Amino acid sequence: MTSPFSRLIDGSDREWILTENEYFLAVLETKPLVLGHVVVVAKEAKDGLFDLADGALSSLLVFSKPIAKAIEMSVTCKKVGVAVIGLETRHAHLHLVPISSAQDLNFTREKLRLEECELIEIRERIRASLATALSMVNDL
């Protein structure tokens, strides 16, 4: 199954990847709902999130936890919301979106158009926060 995530998974497009392991990767959304919007992608080619095996599904959430914490440390928000849509992109993934209101998770509204320098700045802030975030969630 070819998807928009294929180039990320095969390693040919790595610029916006924040972190990854053998099974998942987290990529900064370059057309975000709000600054700091991250997409967590399963490397296994499955149509939707709930097509993943139970172990993979729970592992995806565990993988996402320190990323959500790093987002909270990197942008101003009340919390990080989670959304699973999958109508446009037929590949198992979820969205981590920093939110201050429910409207921040409205996928029908126009996406932000950010300059590359803004994207680079938030990418580096989230990456820099990941080590601290990982130790925080491991202490829970």
Domain borders along the chain are 6-138
**Structure-model confidence comparison of residues 73 and 6, the more confident one:** 73
What are the tens digits of pLDDT across the range 86-140?
888 888 999 999 999 999 999 999 999 999 999 999 999 999 999 899 888 777 6
Phi, psi of 20 (to 5 degrees): -160, 165
Separation CA 96–CA 61 (nearest Å): 11
pTM (two decimals): 0.92
Separation CA 113–CA 118 (nearest Å): 10
**Structure-model confidence comparison of residues 43 and 13, the more confident one:** 43
Q: Is 9 left (phi over 0), alpha (psi -120 to 50) or beta?
A: alpha
Separation CA 42–CA 26 (nearest Å): 9
Dihedral sign for Cα 18, 113, 96, 91, please.
negative
- pLDDT given for residue 40 in this prediction: 98
- Average pLDDT for 12-32: 93
Does the domain formed by 6-138 have CATH 3.30.428.10?
yes
In this predicted structure, the answer to whether residue 1 has a pLDDT above a threshold of 70 is: no
- pLDDT given for residue 6 in this prediction: 66
